[in-house]
């Protein structure tokens, strides 16, 4: 029995039951895949149901205001993905009459839909005979093949794509791809993999040669950038909170924030701000390639400082606006 058959057979007996696996609707599959690119399944389920309840189809998503879409994405991070969802929904309505193209080679032309997502929609909704490679699948393939090529290199992904497309030939691609993802998520885990219960153990070069703990291999990442920020809240006697909207480009594009400034490390270490005020708290917020070191101060007379284009809202109005996860952390750590 070949690898493809082993994976498909295992899936039919052991595959995970997930809400988006009960549908062939490309819209719901698309939303689920984008959500799961940035959060664990346990958290993703709630976001998935909430999002499709408000935006049940591509037409509803396309016609919504971007601010509202961002609000429903709040807490997931990577807000560019929410903006891309909104933009791609507009493309689908304007260029495809609201219908999804059925092949991954066309799907990849939509805003924000890359090789992984296009193949996922193509396989799970339209039975495209293509393999779908996520992080779990990369790990399974690296070990089964005994391949030490860096999995964070595009060349490796391209080679693996050619191989997995061969594995999926003659199989139900939907079942195969769900199966190999589940094997990676539940058996072929990063640490302490369950090799003795893996359906691919007889074909696994890493297991045969004792290389399981050495694979997959990743090239070391470049040194992360560091940024030091000070955020400002009004003192409790002031009933209104100043907020402003960030530029559409860059981190937290289009989201709302409270006033803040970037400072140098020397000032940050002193726990003092150039505006004065009471030091409240600090924490580190991690982005993909950037560490944000955040301090929070309580300012007297915050409403008299020129923060640019701001509006003042009450605490009760905070839920109406889409804030970054960092700002939500600030609210959690303070009286807000």
pLDDT score of 257 more than 90: yes
Fold that domain 225-333 belongs to in CATH:
Nucleoside Triphosphate Pyrophosphohydrolase (3.90.79)
- 298 preceded by a cis bond (ω within 30 of 0): no
Least confident of 36-40, 181-185, 218-222: 218-222
Predicted pLDDT at 178:
98
Average pLDDT for 302-318: 94
Tell me the average pLDDT of the chain.
95
Same fold, 3-214 and 225-333: no
> Is position 60 annotated as part of the catalytic site?
no
CA 103 to CA 162: how far, in whole Å? 17
For residue 335, the model assigns a pLDDT of: 74
Label residue 7 by pLDDT band (50, 70, 90).
very high
- pLDDT, tens digit (0-9, with 9 covering 90-100), for 195-217: 999 999 999 999 999 999 999 99
pTM, two decimal places: 0.83
The CA distance from 40 to 6, in Å, is 26
Residue identified by tokens 């061969």 is: 166
Q: Are 84 and 78 in contact (CB under 8 A)?
A: no
Predicted confidence at residue 223, as pLDDT, reads 82
> Looking at the predicted structure, is the pLDDT value of residue 224 above 90?
no
> Sorting pLDDT into bands at 50, 70 and 90, what band is 6?
very high
Catalytic: which of 33, 74, 106, 282?
A: 33
Q: Exposed, middle or buried, 106 (CB in 10 Å: 0-12/13-18/19+)?
A: middle
Q: Which residues, listed in sequence order, are joined to residue 225 by a DSSP beta bridge?
A: 290
Q: What are the structural domain ranges in the chain? A: 3-214, 225-333
The fold of 3-214 is Endonuclease III; domain 1 (1.10.340)
Angle, in degrees to the nearest 10, between helices 135-145 and 154-168: 80
Residue 272: its pLDDT value, please? 94
Long-range contacts of 121-124 (CB under 8 A, 24+ apart): 121/26, 121/29, 121/30, 121/33, 123/173, 123/174, 123/177, 124/21, 124/24, 124/29, 124/174, 124/177, 124/178
Residue of 58, 78, 77 whose CA lies nearest to 121: 58
The C-alpha atoms of residue 248 and residue 121 are separated, in whole angstroms, by 28
């Amino acid at each position: 029995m070949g690898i493809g058959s082993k994976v498909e057979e295992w899936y039919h007996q052991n595959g995970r039951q997930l809400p988006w696996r009960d549908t062939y609707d490309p819209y719901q599959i698309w939303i689920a895949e984008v959500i799961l690119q940035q959060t664990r399944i346990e958290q993703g389920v709630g976001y998935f149901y909430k999002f499709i309840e408000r935006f049940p189809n591509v037409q509803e998503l396309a016609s919504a205001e971007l601010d509202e879409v961002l609000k429903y994405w709040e807490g997931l991070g990577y807000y560019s993905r929410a903006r891309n969802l909104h933009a791609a929904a507009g493309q689908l309505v304007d260029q495809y009459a609201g219908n999804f193209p059925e092949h991954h080679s066309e799907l990849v032309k939509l805003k924000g839909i890359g090789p992984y997502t296009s193949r996922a929609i193509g396989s799970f909704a339209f039975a495209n005979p293509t393999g779908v490679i996520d992080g779990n699948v990369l790990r399974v393939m690296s070990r089964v093949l005994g391949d030490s090529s860096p999995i964070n290199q595009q060349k490796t992904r391209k080679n693996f794509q050619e191989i997995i497309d061969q594995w999926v030939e003659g199989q139900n691609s939907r079942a195969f791809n769900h199966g190999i993802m589940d094997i990676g998520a539940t058996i072929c885990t990063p640490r302490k993999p369950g090799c003795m219960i893996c359906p691919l153990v007889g074909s696994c070069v890493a297991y045969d040669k004792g290389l399981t703990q050495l694979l997959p291999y990743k090239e070391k990442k470049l040194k992360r950038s560091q940024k030091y920020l000070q955020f400002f809240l009004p003192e409790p006697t002031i009933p209104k909170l100043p907020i402003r909207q960030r530029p559409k480009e860059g981190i937290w594009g289009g989201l709302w924030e409270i006033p803040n400034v970037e400072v140098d490390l020397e000032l940050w270490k002193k726990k003092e701000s150039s505006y004065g005020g009471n030091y409240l708290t600090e924490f580190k917020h991690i982005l993909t390639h950037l560490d944000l070191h955040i301090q929070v101060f309580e300012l007297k007379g915050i409403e008299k400082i020129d923060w640019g284009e701001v509006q003042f809202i009450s605490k009760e109005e905070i839920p109406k606006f889409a804030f970054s996860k960092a700002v939500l952390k600030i609210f959690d750590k303070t009286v807000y």
